Amino acid sequence: MRPVDAMLHILREEGVTRVFGNPGTSELPFTDALAEVDDIDYVLGVHEGSVVAMADGYARATGRTAFVSLHIAAGLANGLVGLLNASRSRTPLVVTAGQQDRRHLASDPMLSGDLVGIAAAAVKQTFDVQHAHDLPIMLRRAFAAARRPPAGPVFLSIPMDLLAEDVDVDVPERSVLAPQGPATSLGSASQLLVSARNPAIVAGDGVGRDGAVAELVRVAEAIGATVYHQPMNDGVDFPGSHPLHGGMLAPTNQAIRDRLDGHDVVFIVGTHAFMAHHYTPVSPIPDGTAVVQLDSDPAEIGRNFAVRLGLCGGIRSTLAALVPLLCSPLAAARTAAAGALAAARWDAVQRKALAGYGRAPLDPLVAAHAVVAGLPQDAVVVEEAITTGVLLRDVLRQDLPGSYVHTVGGGLGWGIGAAIGRQMGDAHRPVVAVLGDGCAMFGLQGLWAAARYEVPVTFVVMNNGEYRTLKETLDNWDSRSTRAGNYVGLDLGSPALDFTRAAGFFGIESVRVTDADHLVEVVAKSTRSSTPLLVDVPITGHGGKS
Ligand SMILES: Cc1ncc(C[n+]2csc(CCOP(=O)(O)OP(=O)(O)O)c2C)c(N)n1
Ligand SMILES: [Mg+2]
């Protein structure tokens, strides 16, 4: 087989039916070969930030590794934020870029560069393909590495002349990977959990990714443990309406420590290092609290804090094996107590949000509540909404796994593309993207693909005309009243951003909504529609200004 045919053959066998890319000269041998096949589509993004974000959302929707084609050094560099996000979110991607023709590479031709060097800091493994015969085995290895725990993006540099070579290369068969089995020492783990006076569980994103939500529910119910979502969770790792759900841990060590205080045993499942954001000078684990930790990646165990017992194995298989070993006579009483607290928290936030209906401009909590009120049961929410996103998590109770999509990566400009990819990967569920105005600006070109491929996502932009979160951070550092609104580089609102005009430029329908009840209606209607819609929602900003 010719190298380029071997590449297409392997893509097919790895389940790739869509390539997300933006081409240049060095990718033309690949895109030209794609023109000859009708079972692999090329999805064009007009900026590599959107390309990688689409692939990220798509991989999460399909549960398969997504394939990305970027253009040499420049295209790869533009895609790096997405690769950093995918690394943090453990999204399996195989990413390629065409290298310059090797016959003049030594003379440093235009756009060439150290592709593996550029990619290396953002991905889990790189391959510098130099011989046509190496391409198939390296591509196979890349697909295997992308999904091996910890899953993530893997990069291959493929010289354009190599792909165009007319030589016959062998293609190795696809390796079949059995799922990870349960960890050892489950007897000791169950003893620690069952004998705890006040156990807690931290549900990390590894739970949702491993399809282990139902198993974690059984573990929690067997011992009556309160379950907290990891800080800034990427997905649904525990059902939001379950009485044992204690909410999300805030992303500082101090906040985590305060929340875990009083729990003598904490079972931490599938979370990378707790993902603290702002520095606080303490350990997230209270003194005297024993940690039992489970992860599919041995490097996570005891990484940032000591563990009483570390379990390394498949998350789903380990939790399933643990369930029959767990039983506590106190479970029912603990569940009832936790359920009463959860219900009180829920009622309080509902009352607070509903009290703001009828006022304009909308308070962000009210806007988030109205979006949620318009969602159908099976909706998927893709969130890149920063300060409104945190409030959204309080009013959104999702039970269906896969219903919430976020990136702990924190590199902005991901949301629009990720929502499009999420919808492309699973067209049966309506997708609503909730975006900060700042975030939307980083990834605005992504809208082009929504229009081009008629992807029916509802894009809701929470428009406060500012980087509110950074103003809040400054105020938390320094509450001097002398600051008096003096923030450098944090305002977007002058001239005011009219996102309906941006949507119009891309050929996407839009509406500006200033009333909560109207927002409920617009979201409900849009999620039944077969075309994309952008909803521009002016909200109050820092200090209550609009
Ligand atoms: C690529 C990138 N650049 C800059 C930042 C820093 N940053 C974090 S949050 C933020 C502002 C987000 O603003 P917006 O989406 O409007 O949300 P708001 O704070 O107003 O809720 C910025 C610029 C980042 N995380 N990623
Ligand atoms: Mg903003």
The response to whether residue 436 sits with its C-beta less than 6 Å from ligand 1 reads yes
Q: Which two tokens stand for residue 157?
A: 């540099």
The residue nearest atom 23 of ligand 1, judged by CA position, is 467
**Ligand 2: centre distance to CA 370 (Å):** 18
Candidate from 386, 437, 540 with most ligand 1 atoms within 8 A of CB, to mutate: 386
Q: Which atom of ligand 1 is nearest to the CA of 364?
A: 21
* DSSP secondary structure string for all residues of 420-464: HHHHHH-TTS-EEEEEEHHHHHHTGGGHHHHHHTT--EEEEEEE-
Residue 191's pLDDT is: 98
Residue 412: left (phi > 0), alpha (psi -120 to 50), or beta? beta
The response to whether residue 380 sits with its C-beta less than 6 Å from ligand 1 reads no
**Ligand 1: centre distance to CA 198 (Å):** 38
Contacts (Cβ under 8 Å, ≥6 apart) of 388: 364, 367, 368, 434, 436, 462, 539
Which CA distances in Å does 419 have to 209, 247, 260, 347, 404? 17, 24, 33, 30, 11
Contacts (Cβ under 8 Å, ≥6 apart) of 111: 24, 26, 71, 72, 73, 74, 100
Distance CA 51, CA 20 (A): 6
Residue 151: DSSP 8-state: P
**Ligand 2: centre distance to CA 437 (Å):** 5
**Ligand 1: centre distance to CA 541 (Å):** 14
The response to whether residue 81 sits with its C-beta less than 6 Å from ligand 1 reads yes
Angle ∠(36,40,41) on CA atoms, nearest 5: 95
Ligand nearest to the CA of 278: 1
Residue 5's pLDDT is: 97
With H, G, I as helix, E, B as strand and everything else as coil, classify residue 101: coil
Residue 288's pLDDT is: 95
Which pLDDT tens digit goes with each residue over 486-504?
899 999 988 999 999 999 9
Residue 277's pLDDT is: 87
* pLDDT tens for each residue of the chain, 546 residues long: 999 999 999 999 999 999 999 999 999 999 999 999 999 999 999 999 999 999 999 999 999 999 999 999 999 999 999 999 999 999 999 999 999 999 999 999 999 999 999 999 999 999 999 999 999 999 999 999 999 999 999 999 999 999 999 999 999 999 888 999 999 999 999 999 999 999 999 999 999 999 999 999 999 999 999 999 999 999 999 999 999 999 999 999 999 999 999 999 999 999 987 778 889 999 999 999 999 999 999 999 999 999 999 999 999 999 999 999 999 999 999 999 999 999 999 999 999 999 999 999 999 999 999 999 999 999 999 999 999 999 999 999 999 999 999 999 999 999 999 999 999 999 999 999 999 999 999 999 999 999 999 999 999 999 999 999 999 999 888 765 556 678 999 999 889 999 999 999 999 999 999 999 999 999 999 999 999 999 999 999 997 655
Nearest to 215 by CA among 250, 191, 240, 239: 239
The response to whether residue 407 sits with its C-beta less than 6 Å from ligand 1 reads no
Which pLDDT tens digit goes with each residue over 358-367?
999 999 999 9
Residue 481's pLDDT is: 52
Residue 480's pLDDT is: 57
Ligand nearest to the CA of 389: 1
Q: Which two tokens stand for residue 73?
A: 């050094």
**Ligand 1: centre distance to CA 177 (Å):** 39
The response to whether residue 466 sits with its C-beta less than 6 Å from ligand 1 reads yes
* DSSP secondary structure string for all residues of 259-293: HHTT-SEEEEES-SGGG--S--SS-SSPTT-EEEE
Ligand nearest to the CA of 465: 2
CA end-to-end span of the chain: 62
Residue 477's pLDDT is: 83
